[in-house]
């Protein structure tokens, strides 16, 4: 009996909270839409440093890859032909 009354009381609290949230959501749809469009225009992310390229295409030296993301087509083709990743590594002056 105590458990049933405790559950009813908890259910009433949760239902009241849901009603409040629904009322708030109904009264502020324009403000929410403005906030989401503003967030899309200027994300609040920290600035990341530029990533230095680690690999260079010997056939076209302007094509480089930093080793992040999807492997470029030129490197995939070279690797399939039997070459190794180290063959394309850029030697940086330390």
pLDDT in tens, 14-37: 999 999 988 888 887 666 666 655
Same domain, 36 and 62: no
What is the reported pLDDT for 45?
80
Tell whether pTM > 0.85: no
Rounded Cα distance, 52 and 85, in Å? 16
From residue 21, give the alpha-carbon distance in Å to each of 40, 44, 51, 69, 92: 24, 26, 44, 41, 57
What is the reported pLDDT for 21?
87
Q: Is 46 part of a structural domain of the chain?
A: no
Q: Is 94 part of a structural domain of the chain?
A: no
Is residue 75 over pLDDT 60? Answer: yes
14: containing domain: 2-41
Rounded Cα distance, 6 and 3, in Å? 5
Same domain, 37 and 6: yes
Q: Is 62 part of a structural domain of the chain?
A: yes
Is residue 44 over pLDDT 60? Answer: yes
Number of domains in the chain: 2
Same domain, 36 and 65: no
Q: Is 93 part of a structural domain of the chain?
A: no
Q: Is 8 part of a structural domain of the chain?
A: yes
Same domain, 32 and 61: no
Q: Which of 25-29, 43-47, 77-81 has the highest mean pLDDT?
A: 77-81
């Amino acid at each position: 009996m105590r458990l049933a009354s405790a559950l009813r009381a908890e259910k009433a609290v949760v239902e009241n909270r849901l009603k409040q949230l629904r009322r708030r959501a109904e009264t502020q749809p324009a403000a929410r839409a403005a906030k989401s469009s503003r967030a899309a225009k200027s994300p609040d992310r920290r600035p990341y440093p530029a990533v230095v390229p680690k690999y260079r295409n010997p056939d076209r030296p302007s094509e480089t890859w930093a080793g992040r993301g999807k492997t470029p087509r030129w490197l995939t083709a070279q690797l399939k032909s039997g070459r190794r990743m180290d063959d394309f590594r850029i030697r940086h002056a330390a």
